[in-house]
Chains A and B, each alone.
Chain A
């Protein structure tokens, strides 16, 4: 059963009752409440292809979007993101429940997940080989990711490279792709056939919206991929769009700074990371023109092996 098998009414009833359990990539999540007009429909549509958890399966993240006690329940209504029964964040305006759910789930992953090696990176795949785009927020990684996904690359994640420590495989977690500010319009124009959810204005990251993951990417959620390229993108207005090789040593340092648990994992983190860098051809990508950047990336599979 997938989320889309439930009618919206059934979905909403479950959400406000016992909660809806889903498998999201390797993780199992149960989400409850979220009594907010935009939350349930946005969630129901963006996650429509994701499998529901069987009754007998426990969830590792029990998330609740809860109303506060007191005045702020009605006046300039706020909500809380809760994991189990603790509130790790400040309350947020109720209208932003959906983006806060996404950020809260990100937090669950980068704060609690150490059974995998986790890097802040978008991951897409073509013919079994995966491209990692690792960069701090604002570098254009999600824009590139959304565009590539609309050009036939398979979405693994726009936020996390989740790496199996035993074999170096990348585990997909094809959640909706978060787009910010101008990139929302850019992707709407670039791929008019994609479904982009409502735009949430005035978050601490500006306006955000989410692109629905392609059904195929979610259906293939259990199929890992092998890392082949590691690209560090930087969007810079008016820059000449260029892909330039980076030495393995410097790629190692940059990517370790973008890892969430490199330090926590100690020696095994080092080994995982070294293996990843060994497996990948590494590049800096400076870009101002999305199409030109995509063309350069599309040439990577052909040039495989010739990079340093």
Chain B
């Protein structure tokens, strides 16, 4: 059950840390690399890492083709995303309102290394907290539609969540999440969305905004450790690693990061981000920054729990033993995420309602092969 040997012997983790290690792989390990890269949606990223190491011509042909294809798909997403940003400007035109592009979209808009080879499934934008209803109306007028029709789910989003119900464009079929913050309103961890918006930076003449570097990093950490499911989210850890490395080259970044985390009350997710990028991806972090980040260290029991569950849930399992450990860790973290998102009262009401509904409606997630 030790997470550590799994991390050491996992071909994908090896490649993420030291791409050239792959040159020693046998056929089976190459296949495992491809398998794990595919399920974590890191294939395009692995291609980029091989390219950076100048070793693409030494990757076996079948593996090379699959990684390269994924890279091309990520490039397609990049073009699509830039066009979506353009279309959102059009929808907002004349309103005097602006928006912050978040997550993968921001990495693309800024041309960060984190964007290279990284697919972007949907666009995430944030508007000033007081502008969200107006923003939604403008988007609905310009071809976006609600994905969720169910009234309970719609209410749930509007009442509790940091994002409105997802939208999809009628013609382009691209999905969008419209945010007013980065954490559910019910979350145990609170942060100042106004401040995030205020400190965001304008990056072009149209007024496209992105979070400032520390805030972008903190958002990514919050997203991984306090919002979604950690299991299977290795890609978010790779984002964090890439952001730490790239922003870390800029003067003043480390000095501003920790005070800003404290100001926003996000020192805990930052502590986790540093701990697990360093443990799993060997991210270089200056000693002073590490020392300052200690302010976010949780109680020993919690940390022991996280140290066991996080690597087990993030590293894709190779064997059936690892798969079992990963499911168990994933389940524990799933319970934790609900605990963090909502007080017990509304949570139990919500879960009861969800599970009752699941009894008489089965949700299709897959398709018919012949279709």
- Which positions in A face B, CB cutoff 8 Å? 26-28, 30, 55-60, 62, 81, 83-90, 92, 99-100, 103-104, 107, 112-115, 203-205, 263-266
Which A residues are CB-close (under 8 A) to B369?
Answer: 81, 88-90, 92, 100, 103-104, 107
Known: A84-B38, A115-B69. A204 touches B371 (CB 8 A): yes
Known: A84-B39, A89-B367, A266-B79. A114 touches B62 (CB 8 A): no
Which A residues are CB-close (under 8 A) to B35?
Answer: 62, 84-85
A30 and B65 alpha carbons, distance in the complex (Å): 16
B359 contacts the other chain (CB 8 A):
no
A231 and B303 alpha carbons, distance in the complex (Å): 65
Are B62 and A60 in contact, with the CB atoms below 8 A? Answer: yes
Which A residues are CB-close (under 8 A) to B367?
Answer: 88-90
Are B30 and A115 in contact, with the CB atoms below 8 A? Answer: no
B28 contacts the other chain (CB 8 A):
yes
A55 and B28 alpha carbons, distance in the complex (Å): 10
Question: Nearest A residue to B37 by beta-carbon distance?
Answer: A84
Which B residues are CB-close (under 8 A) to A30?
Answer: 31
Known: A58-B27, A60-B65, A62-B35. A103 touches B366 (CB 8 A): no
A28 and B62 alpha carbons, distance in the complex (Å): 7
Are B69 and A58 in contact, with the CB atoms below 8 A? Answer: no
Cβ 8 A contact of A60, one of B34, B72, B76, B368: B34
Min Cβ gap A7→B in Å is: 24
Min Cβ gap B166→A in Å is: 22
Are B39 and A86 in contact, with the CB atoms below 8 A? Answer: yes
Question: Nearest A residue to B43 by beta-carbon distance?
Answer: A112
Which B residues are CB-close (under 8 A) to A83?
Answer: 38
| Max chain B Cβ within 10 angstroms of own Cβ: one of A83, A205, A263, A266 | A266
9 other A-B residue contacts (CB within 8 Å) besides A28-B62, A205-B370, A263-B76: A58-B30, A62-B35, A81-B369, A85-B39, A88-B369, A90-B366, A100-B370, A113-B69, A115-B72
Which A residues are CB-close (under 8 A) to B342?
Answer: none
Are A264 and B39 in contact, with the CB atoms below 8 A? Answer: no
| Max chain A Cβ within 10 angstroms of own Cβ: one of B28, B73, B366, B370 | B370
A99 and B370 alpha carbons, distance in the complex (Å): 9
Which A residues are CB-close (under 8 A) to B79?
Answer: 266
Q: Mark B327-371, 1 if CB is under 8 A from A, else 0.
A: 000000000000000000000000000000000000000111111
A112 and B70 alpha carbons, distance in the complex (Å): 7
Min Cβ gap B6→A in Å is: 16
Which B residues are CB-close (under 8 A) to A26?
Answer: 65
Are B73 and A114 in contact, with the CB atoms below 8 A? Answer: yes
A100 and B370 alpha carbons, distance in the complex (Å): 7
Question: Nearest B residue to A87 by beta-carbon distance?
Answer: B366
B140 contacts the other chain (CB 8 A):
no
B63 contacts the other chain (CB 8 A):
yes
A55 and B35 alpha carbons, distance in the complex (Å): 18
21 pairs across A/B with beta carbons < 8 Å?
A: A26-B65, A27-B62, A59-B62, A85-B35, A87-B366, A88-B369, A89-B366, A89-B369, A90-B366, A104-B369, A107-B369, A112-B70, A114-B68, A114-B72, A204-B368, A264-B73, A264-B76, A265-B72, A266-B75, A266-B76, A266-B79
B66 contacts the other chain (CB 8 A):
yes
Min Cβ gap B117→A in Å is: 13
- If over half of A's interface residues share one DSSP class (helix, strand or loop), that class is named, otherwise mixed; here it is mixed
How big is the B interface, by class? 20 to 34
Please report the number of residue pairs spanning A and B whose Cβ atoms sit closer than 8 angstroms: 83
Which A residues are CB-close (under 8 A) to B284?
Answer: none
| Max chain B Cβ within 10 angstroms of own Cβ: one of A56, A62, A84 | A84
Min Cβ gap A61→B in Å is: 8
B60 contacts the other chain (CB 8 A):
yes
Which A residues are CB-close (under 8 A) to B62?
Answer: 27-28, 57-60
Cβ 8 A contact of B60, one of A58, A81, A85, A115: A58
Question: Nearest A residue to B364 by beta-carbon distance?
Answer: A90
A89 and B26 alpha carbons, distance in the complex (Å): 30
A112 and B35 alpha carbons, distance in the complex (Å): 13
Known: A58-B60, A62-B31. A112 touches B368 (CB 8 A): no
| Max chain B Cβ within 10 angstroms of own Cβ: one of A56, A115, A204 | A115
A85 and B327 alpha carbons, distance in the complex (Å): 14
Min Cβ gap B315→A in Å is: 15
Which A residues are CB-close (under 8 A) to B65?
Answer: 26, 60, 113, 115
Which B residues are CB-close (under 8 A) to A92?
Answer: 369
Which A residues are CB-close (under 8 A) to B68?
Answer: 114-115
Are B39 and A103 in contact, with the CB atoms below 8 A? Answer: no
A55 and B60 alpha carbons, distance in the complex (Å): 13
Question: Nearest A residue to B69 by beta-carbon distance?
Answer: A114
Which A residues are CB-close (under 8 A) to B76?
Answer: 263-266
Are B30 and A88 in contact, with the CB atoms below 8 A? Answer: no
Question: Nearest A residue to B80 by beta-carbon distance?
Answer: A263
Known: A85-B39, A90-B366. A58 touches B75 (CB 8 A): no
Min Cβ gap B297→A in Å is: 36
Min Cβ gap A173→B in Å is: 13
A277 and B168 alpha carbons, distance in the complex (Å): 34
| Max chain B Cβ within 10 angstroms of own Cβ: one of A60, A84, A103 | A60
A1 and B371 alpha carbons, distance in the complex (Å): 35
A76 and B277 alpha carbons, distance in the complex (Å): 48
| Max chain B Cβ within 10 angstroms of own Cβ: one of A90, A104, A107, A205 | A90
A86 and B36 alpha carbons, distance in the complex (Å): 11
Are B73 and A204 in contact, with the CB atoms below 8 A? Answer: no
Min Cβ gap B319→A in Å is: 12
Question: Nearest A residue to B66 by beta-carbon distance?
Answer: A60
Min Cβ gap A150→B in Å is: 26
A281 and B369 alpha carbons, distance in the complex (Å): 34
A170 and B370 alpha carbons, distance in the complex (Å): 25
Min Cβ gap B12→A in Å is: 12
| Max chain A Cβ within 10 angstroms of own Cβ: one of B26, B69, B79, B369 | B369
A99 and B368 alpha carbons, distance in the complex (Å): 12
Which 10 residue pairs spanning A and B have beta carbons closest together?
A: A60-B62, A58-B30, A114-B69, A89-B369, A84-B35, A58-B27, A204-B370, A103-B369, A114-B72, A264-B76
Are B31 and A59 in contact, with the CB atoms below 8 A? Answer: yes
